[in-house]
């Protein structure tokens, strides 16, 4: 009786072991792995470009399934706004951060960002600036043990399933800080985006000369839609379907300027504005682009010369 009982127990254990092996086998079977991969593919199939509303300034988050990048972080007091936005998007680290140029409406919030979230690479233009705001950014970079990467026109970087190419600056000797702006073209499948910070007409002319393909579906208008940037030749070359302006409502510079809005109107470019529409998000699947809000309709007032 006793022996039989032990045997019964042993076969029970054997059966359990066999069952658990079988279940493990099932869990790791190729079919199951394929399921996981296809779920993953669904996520890798889009990228999002967020123009975060930081008032008068720029802050752009580029998010893919497995990598993300931030271009600028608005004024000093907008660092928290940017960080809260990144957290809401579940961004845990930034593969790349670009500080386009040392003006406070672009790099002001960067120190807060660098202190709050791990950053792998930081790209800054080849120019120094002595404002406290800029010093704070450099200190944060040093504290985070980051090496600054200098932008070299033509250099190409991988960002998850997308790539970006440096298109500016094309010189290291400018009078106007805006012209040092790091410019990039982001490409995902057949879709592309051009960002040129606050690059002025002079820097745009140099970009046109450098021989890179500047055509893009989306152009973040330079310098908040100023008429000192966004020259006709540059708009002709980029030839965007969508234009986005990052600016503050009723800003003291009168951005965006009517001449630029008139140009967009002539070209039937679909326009979006953070000053009047808040944060604007573009989504690309590599073939088509969609936007989270309807396009801004220009008014007669917008088109009147200032
Ligand atoms: Zn600016």
Q: How far is the CA of 28 from the centre of ligand 1 (A)?
A: 53
With bands split at pLDDT 50, 70 and 90, how would you rate the model's confidence at 2?
very low
- What is the pLDDT of the chain when averaged over all its residues? 89
Q: How far is the CA of 109 from the centre of ligand 1 (A)?
A: 13
Q: How far is the CA of 247 from the centre of ligand 1 (A)?
A: 8
Q: How far is the CA of 36 from the centre of ligand 1 (A)?
A: 43
Specify the pLDDT at position 30: 40
Q: How far is the CA of 107 from the centre of ligand 1 (A)?
A: 9
Residue 36 is encoded by which pair of tokens?
């996981």
Q: How far is the CA of 224 from the centre of ligand 1 (A)?
A: 6
Which tens digits make up the pLDDT trace of 132-151? 999 999 999 999 999 999 99
Q: Average pLDDT for residues 121-134, to the nearest whole number?
A: 95
With bands split at pLDDT 50, 70 and 90, how would you rate the model's confidence at 128?
confident
Does residue 160 surpass a pLDDT of 70? yes
Around ion ligand 1, residues with a beta carbon closer than 5 Å are 105, 198
What are the CA-CA distances from residue 96 to residues 12, 100, 277 (Å)?
56, 12, 27
Check residues 4 and 44 and name the one with the higher pLDDT: 44
Q: Which of 40, 284, 67, 283 is nearest to 159 (CA)?
A: 67
What are the CA-CA distances from residue 274 to residues 13, 22, 156, 265, 280 (Å)?
66, 56, 29, 18, 6
Specify the pLDDT at position 136: 97
Which tens digits make up the pLDDT trace of 93-109? 999 999 999 999 999 99
Which tens digits make up the pLDDT trace of 208-260? 999 899 999 999 999 999 999 999 999 999 999 999 999 999 999 999 999 99
User: Are 16 and 257 in contact, with CB atoms under 8 Å apart?
Assistant: no
Does residue 43 surpass a pLDDT of 70? no
With bands split at pLDDT 50, 70 and 90, how would you rate the model's confidence at 39?
very low
Q: Are strands 60-63 and 289-291 parallel, antiparallel or unpaired?
A: unpaired
The HSE-up count of residue 209 (CA atoms within 13 Å, CB side) is 9
Q: Average pLDDT for residues 257-271, to the nearest whole number?
A: 97
Q: How far is the CA of 101 from the centre of ligand 1 (A)?
A: 9
Specify the pLDDT at position 4: 47
Q: Are strands 60-63 and 280-284 parallel, antiparallel or unpaired?
A: unpaired
State in Å, rounded, how far the first CA of the chain is from the last one. 103
Specify the pLDDT at position 293: 97
Specify the pLDDT at position 80: 98
With bands split at pLDDT 50, 70 and 90, how would you rate the model's confidence at 9?
low
Give the range among 36-40, 170-174, 281-285 with minimum mean pLDDT. 36-40
With bands split at pLDDT 50, 70 and 90, how would you rate the model's confidence at 34?
very low
pTM for the model: 0.86
Q: Average pLDDT for residues 181-203, to the nearest whole number?
A: 98
Q: What is the 3-state secondary structure of 218-253? A: EEECHHHHCCCCCCHHHHHHHCCCEEEECCCCCCCC
Specify the pLDDT at position 13: 46
Does residue 42 surpass a pLDDT of 60? no
């Amino acid at each position: 009786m006793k022996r039989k009982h032990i045997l019964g127990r042993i076969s029970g254990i054997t059966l359990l072991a066999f069952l658990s092996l079988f279940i493990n086998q099932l869990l790791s079977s190729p079919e199951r792995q394929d399921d996981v991969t296809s779920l993953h593919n669904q996520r890798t199939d889009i990228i999002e470009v967020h123009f975060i509303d930081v008032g008068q300034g720029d802050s752009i988050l580029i998010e893919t399934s497995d990598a993300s990048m931030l271009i600028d972080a608005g004024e000093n007091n907008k660092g928290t706004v940017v960080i809260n936005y990144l957290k809401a998007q579940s961004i845990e680290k930034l593969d790349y951060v670009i500080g386009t140029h040392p003006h406070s409406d672009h790099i002001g919030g960067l120190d807060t960002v660098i202190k709050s979230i791990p950053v792998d690479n930081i790209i800054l233009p080849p120019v120094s600036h002595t404002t406290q705001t800029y010093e704070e950014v450099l200190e944060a970079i040093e504290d985070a043990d980051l090496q600054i990467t200098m932008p070299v026109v033509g250099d190409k970087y991988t960002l998850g399933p997308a790539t970006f190419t440096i298109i500016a600056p094309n010189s290291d000797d400018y009078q106007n800080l805006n012209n040092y702006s790091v410019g990039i073209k982001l490409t995902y499948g057949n879709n592309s985006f051009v960002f040129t910070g606050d690059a002025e007409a002079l820097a745009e002319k140099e970009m046109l000369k450098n021989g890179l393909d500047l055509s893009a579906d989306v152009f973040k208008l330079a310098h908040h839609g100023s008429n000192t940037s966004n020259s006709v030749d540059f708009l002709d070359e980029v030839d965007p379907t969508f234009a986005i302006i990052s600016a503050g409502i009723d800003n003291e510079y009168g951005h965006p300027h009517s001449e630029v809005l008139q140009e967009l109107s002539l070209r039937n470019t679909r326009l979006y504005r953070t000053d009047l529409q808040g944060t604007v998000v573009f989504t690309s699947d590599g073939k088509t682009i969609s936007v989270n809000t309807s396009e801004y309709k220009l008014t007669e007032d917008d088109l009147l010369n200032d």
